[in-house]
Amino acid sequence: MADEPNAGNGDFAEPVFSSILAECPELWEVVEQYAKALPEQVAEMESAFRTGAYDHLQRLAEKLKTSGVGHGYADVSEQADSLGRAAHDQLMDDVEQKLSELSQLAGQIQAGLQTPEDD
């Protein structure tokens, strides 16, 4: 397997794993529930964007930023922070890009849930 950059193809994206599960595997169910809810959360943010509800989008992004760290997904927090700033500034192209990246990341996290751990 060669390490190739993801050229916008989420089907071949590398799985993303929660950093807290290595230390606390007993939190599997909590992390799994969080990860499974991510696509719905992204869909809610996409809906807020489409309707121009930027304040609501900012609140959703802030909530996701906080919960990402708490569940061991720093990348989610970083993406949500960036999305929230773009929504605040009403930078539509940036918001759309950040939502796409967040959606892809949610897919990578889903893939990480389905990858058996060898350790």
Is 4:58 a contact under the CB 8 Å cutoff? no
AA identity, residue 12: F
- Per-residue confidence of the chain (119 residues) as pLDDT tens digits? 333 333 344 455 799 999 999 899 999 999 999 999 999 999 999 999 999 999 999 999 999 999 999 999 999 999 999 999 999 999 999 999 999 999 999 999 999 987 555 44
Query: In the numeric block, which tokens belong to residue 80?
Result: 């949500």
- C-alpha to C-alpha distance for 62 and 99, rounded to whole angstroms: 14
Is 107:13 a contact under the CB 8 Å cutoff? yes
Q: Is residue 10 part of a domain?
A: no
Q: Is residue 4 part of a domain?
A: no
Query: In the numeric block, which tokens belong to residue 9?
Result: 């193809």
Q: Is residue 9 part of a domain?
A: no
Query: In the numeric block, which tokens belong to residue 77?
Result: 């927090």
Q: Which domain holds residue 35?
A: 25-114
Q: Is residue 18 part of a domain?
A: no
Cβ burial, residue 119 (10 Å; 0-12/13-18/19+): exposed
Q: Is residue 16 part of a domain?
A: no
> Helix or strand or coil: residue 76?
helix
Split into its structural domains, the chain has a count of: 1
CATH number at residue 31: 1.20.120.160
